[in-house]
Every structure is written in C-alpha cells, then in structure tokens.
Amino acid sequence: MGFAAVTAFEMANLELGVSAYEIDLLSETGGEVKSSAGFGVVTSAFDDTVYDTVMFGAGTAIEPMTPGLMEFARRSLQTSRRVAAPCTGAFILAEAGLLDGRRATTHWAFAHQLRTRFPAVRIEEDRIFIVDGSVWTSAGMTAGIDLALAMIEKDHGADVARSIARKLVVYHRRAGGQSQFSALLELEPKSDRIQKSVEYAKANLRGLLSVEELADAAGLSARQFSRAFRAETGQSPAKAVEHLRVEAARLMMEEGRHSMDVIAEETGFTDRERMRRAFLRTLGQPPQTIRRNARESAAA
C-alpha cells in the first residue's frame, strides 16, 4: 500500500503533461529490498542528493532503525522542503527526534505504542493526516493516498488534485482532520431491520431516539430489538446512538461553522455538558480539543 502514494505523483505528471515529480526509491545500502508482500524493489543508496520531498516508507511491523537511517532522516529535515511519514514511518521520524513537540498521527493500531515510546510527540491517533510545519504524517494504508493528494493540491491546486483523485477512483482527498473511524462501519449490522434502525437514528439524531422509537423503525418489539441489536453490533442501542451523535458533532466542529451550543442541540445532546461527557467517554478528549485541533489543521 505504501506504493499507492507513488502512483498519485505519477498520475500528476500525466495530468499536468510535464515531469512535475521525479521519483527515486532509496534505501541505506541500495540494491533490491523485499517488500512486506515478498516481491523486491530496486533502490538507490543514500547519498548527498537533496530532495524536494522525502517520504519514509511504512511496514507491517516496527523494524530496528540504524544510525545511517537516523542520519538520513535528520539531514532530510534540514535540506528538504517537506518530510513525510505515512503509517509506521512516523516511528522513524520519532526515533530521530524530528517529531518532538510536533503534532503527528499514525495507523490507529500503532498509536498507543508511538505515544508510549515517544512521550514528547503530540499524538493524535484519530486523524487521516497532519501537517506540522514541514513534517507530514498520516494514518496507515490508503491514508497515504490522501497525504499524496494533499501535497499535490498544495503544489498545483485543488482542481489538479481532484482530477487525479477521480483517475485513482478514490474520494477526493479526505480532510486531514477526518476520523480514521466510522461509527457506522463499527456497527456493521447484519440484518436489514437493524440496518434500517441505524439509518433512522443517523437521520434523526436531534430527536430522543428511545429504544421504542428505534424498535418501531425496525419493525420489532422493544425487547426483540434490544436483543437483536446487541447480538448484531456488540453494542447497546443507547451506546450506538451516542457514538453516532459524537461522530456527527465532531464533523460539525471540524467544519467550524457552528457554536458548541448549536452543535449540541443539532446532534441530540441538548446541552454542552452532556456532549462533553460523551466525547470523553468515546474519544477521550473534550469537544474543545477537537475544535482546536481542527483549527490548527486548517491553518497548517
């Protein structure tokens, strides 16, 4: 998946009709390097070449880091316009001390490990990508495409990036502050009836959304509905509704167009304190932190 970002830059060259990006694959010693999938890629060894953008690759595990790799990472920050690390590549930058005091993200499965090993890094695990100065980090897997599209948009404009996204058959890049998670994906109801109740809840978050109301939408008795809902989703209806409300409220905060009071009312929390408690339970952060992070991402 790490090579998907390379394809975005390749498509940019085709879109622009010029060689806007020349791509080199590097490793410490050069030669063939095996990918996590088993096939090899040919690389050039580190040298004194100065690159505009240096992107550190990611893997399925955290590999030992050599002094040569650390030196190359530190030199890249000094000589390149930007340094990027999708997914577990963030561990390379953190080990080199390049993320100390900076905001950064990584794949959600490695976020706790990154935070524990490098407490000086301001980890925001629930982000698609983060730009802090000249350092770019992103979530894992397909988020590398969002990172590359954001770079292309910064270099050549939104229209070019949008056209490339269409050619890549992806959503025109997700905003950096967008969540790595989706409450709807977490629920994954198996039956049409429970799916219908979830869709009803999402469309009516401003209402009370009692068990009886959701059961009626599913065409079941309240007792049958509660049992079936927990069996299919692993959550109670009340907890699922809270997650949907938190997700909707966070999206409104990231858009930045409404006050906290309006957001609480529109998403069914009714008041800011109830919304704050739900955010702490679900995300471990208060709404004010979410809004501040969104503003910092937008400014960056």
Domains and CATH numbers, the chain: 4-168 (3.40.50.880), 183-299 (1.10.10.60)
- Indicate if the pLDDT at residue 126 is higher than 80: no
Strand order across the beta sheet in which 129-132 lies: 53-55, 82-86, 135-138, 129-132
Q: Which percentage of the chain shows pLDDT scores above 90?
A: 67
Between residues 221 and 178, the one the model is more confident about: 221
Does the pLDDT value for residue 162 go beyond 70?
yes
Return the number of other C-beta atoms located less than 10 Å from residue 286's C-beta. 15
CA distance linking residue 284 with residue 247, whole number of Å: 13
Lowest mean pLDDT among 82-96, 153-167, 179-193, 239-253: 179-193
Please, where are the H alpha helices in the chain?
4-16, 67-79, 89-95, 108-117, 143-156, 158-168, 183-187, 192-203, 211-218, 222-233, 237-255, 260-266, 272-283, 287-299
Q: Give me 225's structure tokens.
A: 């509905």
Ranking 101-105, 174-178, 287-291 by mean pLDDT, the lowest is 174-178
Band (300; pLDDT cuts 50, 70, 90): low
Tell me what the mean pLDDT of segment 74-96 comes to.
Answer: 97
Whether the pLDDT of residue 185 is over 90: the answer is no
- What pLDDT score was predicted for residue 295? 77
Rounded to 5°, angle at Cα 176 from 175 and 180: 95
Percent of the chain with pLDDT over 70: 93
Please tell me the total number of residues recorded for the chain in this structure: 300
Query: Taking the chain, what is the end-to-end CA distance rounded to the nearest angstrom?
Result: 26
The band of 294, judged by pLDDT with boundaries at 50, 70 and 90, is: confident
Q: Please state, in angstroms and rounded to a whole number, the distance separating the CA atoms of residues 77 and 94.
A: 12
pLDDT at position 172 over 70: no
Strand partners, 34: 40
Q: Quote the tokens at residue 10.
A: 């390749």
